[in-house]
């Protein structure tokens, strides 16, 4: 079967069943990402966008597309931010790809590490704490992405989350009866606005993981197609495998989950916006729902104290930053 547009040899088959050649698929992908940005109003005319990169296909793909748009319109400034959690044999190789990618395109890359910021790498934390690795990493990674993006003057924090990621999050929250957390999901995250929260946007929100993988391959984006060694023990990994099985038997399942969720999301945000009571962590001063934020709770278990004092000492600087200019 030839490409539906130009009758060239197809390279990708969409969920709809349509087949596209290389050039038509790349055009389809980029147009859909731009449309996602437009219809969900993810970005304004003038933005300082910090893109959270891991060195994988998703984050490098969104960085590539936003950087290309910024070069044409000149009203967006795009920089990259990476977090080195300290996972032996995994993160170093991924960060190497991110550095190479940014260097060849002239994108400034800032790298911060768990070790520098918290005194322990993730590997060391896992050995010290009786907690699942993903529970530690998810909290501390989100904490650093927000605080460092804010220090870098970001107006938006763009991530590489795709449709598969969102479908997994929706189902996980349903299984855990955690609907309030679902209210914070969507193409642009959060329920209430707070200047200390840098709004996260997901330009790849409507793109499947397979589409992102195909785009990265066809564009020569050398993001690693590797999985975190701690993923085997994650709840998300189990949900991902379940959804992949459903998708294989019933194509379009993930798309239906996300599209159905988008229909009720405005109601969820409206409901929980009226109930939201934002506090500020008495240790680090970051916004949270309780007296102490989750990040500080973890660090307290590690015996890391005086974070607020250390933060004040670094005020006015960018901490320990490694750059690719």
Long-range contacts of the stretch 173-177 (C-beta < 8 A, 24+) = 175/239
Q: Quick one: what percent of the chain has pLDDT higher than 90?
A: 64
Q: Is residue 324 part of a domain?
A: no
Q: Is residue 64 part of a domain?
A: yes
Domain match, 14 and 138 both: no
Domain C-terminal end among 274, 291, 308: 274
Find the mean pLDDT for residues 159-183.
95
What is the spatial distance between Cα 208 and Cα 189, in angstroms, rounded to a whole number? 19
Domain match, 124 and 223 both: yes
Domain match, 6 and 72 both: no
> Which tens digits make up the pLDDT trace of 252-304?
999 999 999 999 999 999 988 876 677 889 899 888 878 899 999 999 999 88
Q: Is residue 2 part of a domain?
A: yes
Mean pLDDT, all residues of the chain: 88
Backbone angles phi, psi at 63, to 5 degrees: -65, -40
pLDDT at 31: 96
The helix or strand, by DSSP H or E, that contains position 51, with its residue range, turns out to be strand 47-53
pLDDT score of 225 more than 70: no
What is the spatial distance between Cα 115 and Cα 172, in angstroms, rounded to a whole number? 30
pLDDT score of 306 more than 60: no
pLDDT score of 7 more than 70: yes
pLDDT at 228: 77
Domain match, 112 and 53 both: yes
Q: What Å distances lie between residue 268 and 201, 202, 203, 262, 290, CA to CA?
A: 18, 19, 21, 10, 21
What is the spatial distance between Cα 265 and Cα 55, in angstroms, rounded to a whole number? 30
Backbone angles phi, psi at 43, to 5 degrees: -135, 145
- Contacts of residue 160, Cβ cutoff 8 Å, sequence gap at least 6: 52, 53, 54, 56, 57, 58, 59, 60, 61, 62, 63, 202, 204, 212
Which value, in Å, is the radius of gyration of the alpha carbons in the chain?
20
Task: Name the DSSP class of 158.
Answer: E
Place of tokens 């934390």: 125
**For the chain, counts of helices (H) and of strands (E):** 13, 10
Q: Is 98 exposed, middle or buried (0-12, 13-18, 19+ CB in 10 A)?
A: buried
Domain match, 137 and 241 both: yes
The structure tokens listed for 110 are 């800032």
> Which tens digits make up the pLDDT trace of 274-288?
766 778 898 998 888
Tell me, what CATH number does 128's domain have? 3.40.50.620
Place of tokens 């079967």: 1
Domain match, 67 and 196 both: yes
The structure tokens listed for 49 are 């966008």
pLDDT at 291: 86
Domain C-terminal end among 274, 293, 314: 274
Domain match, 203 and 264 both: yes
* Weakest-pLDDT range from 56-65, 161-170, 229-238: 229-238
Domain match, 8 and 63 both: no
* Weakest-pLDDT range from 7-16, 184-193, 201-210, 275-284: 275-284
Which domain range does residue 23 map to? 1-32
Domain match, 98 and 212 both: yes
> Which tens digits make up the pLDDT trace of 24-82?
999 999 999 999 999 999 999 999 999 999 888 999 999 999 999 998 877 899 999 99
The structure tokens listed for 300 are 């307290």
The structure tokens listed for 139 are 């909290």
Q: Is residue 316 part of a domain?
A: no
The residues pairing with 288 across neighbouring beta strands, listed in sequence order, are: 279
pLDDT score of 316 more than 70: no
Domain match, 102 and 176 both: yes
Domain match, 241 and 102 both: yes
127 in Cβ contact with 85 (< 8 Å): no
Domain match, 26 and 100 both: no
> Which tens digits make up the pLDDT trace of 102-122?
999 999 999 999 999 999 999
pLDDT score of 311 more than 80: no
Q: Report the predicted TM-score, pTM, of the whole model to 2 decimal places.
A: 0.88
- Contacts of residue 261, Cβ cutoff 8 Å, sequence gap at least 6: 166, 170, 182, 185
pLDDT score of 318 more than 50: no
pLDDT at 322: 43
Start-to-end CA span in the chain (Å): 46
What is the Cα 251 distance to its own chain's centre?
A: 25
Confidence grade of residue 325 (pLDDT, cut at 50, 70, 90): very low
Q: Is residue 24 part of a domain?
A: yes
DSSP string for residues in 200-247: EE-TTTTS-HHHHHHHHHHTT---B----TTGGG-HHHHHHHHHHHHH
Q: Is residue 79 part of a domain?
A: yes
Instruction: Tally the domains of the chain.
Output: 2
Buried b (16+ CB within 10 A) or exposed e, 35-70: ebbeebebbeeebebbbbbbbbbbbbbbbbbbbebb
């Amino acid at each position: 079967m030839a490409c539906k547009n130009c009758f060239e040899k197809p390279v990708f088959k969409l969920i709809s069943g349509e087949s596209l050649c290389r050039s038509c698929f790349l055009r389809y992908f980029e147009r859909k990402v731009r449309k996602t940005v437009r219809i969900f109003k993810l970005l304004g005319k003038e933005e300082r966008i910090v893109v959270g990169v891991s060195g994988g296909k998703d984050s490098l793909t969104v960085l590539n597309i936003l950087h290309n748009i910024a070069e044409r319109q000149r009203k967006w400034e795009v920089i990259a931010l990476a977090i080195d959690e300290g996972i032996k044999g995994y993160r170093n190789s991924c960060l190497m790809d991110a550095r190479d990618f940014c260097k060849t395109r002239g994108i400034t890359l800032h790298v911060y590490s768990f070790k520098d910021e918290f005194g322990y790498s993730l590997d060391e934390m896992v050995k010290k704490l009786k907690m699942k690795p993903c529970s530690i990493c998810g909290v501390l990674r989100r904490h650093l992405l927000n605080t460092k993006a804010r220090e870098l003057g970001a107006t938006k924090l763009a991530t590489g989350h795709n449709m598969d990621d969102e479908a997994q999050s929706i189902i996980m929250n349903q299984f855990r009866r955690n609907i309030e957390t679902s209210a914070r999901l969507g193409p642009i995250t959060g329920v209430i606005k707070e200047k200390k929260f840098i709004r996260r946007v997901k330009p790849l929100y409507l793109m499947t993981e397979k589409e992102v993988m195909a785009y990265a391959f066809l564009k020569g984006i050398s993001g690693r197609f590797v999985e975190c060694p701690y993923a085997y023990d994650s709840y998300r990994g189990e949900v991902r495998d379940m959804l992949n099985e459903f998708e294989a038997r019933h194509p379009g399942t993930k798309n239906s989950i996300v599209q159905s969720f988008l229909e009720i999301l405005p109601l969820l945000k409206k409901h929980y916006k009226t109930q939201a009571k934002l506090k500020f962590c008495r240790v680090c001063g970051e916004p949270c729902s309780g007296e102490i934020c989750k990040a500080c709770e973890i660090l307290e278990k590690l015996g890391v104290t005086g974070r607020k004092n250390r933060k004040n000492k670094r005020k006015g600087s960018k901490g320990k930053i490694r750059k690719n200019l």
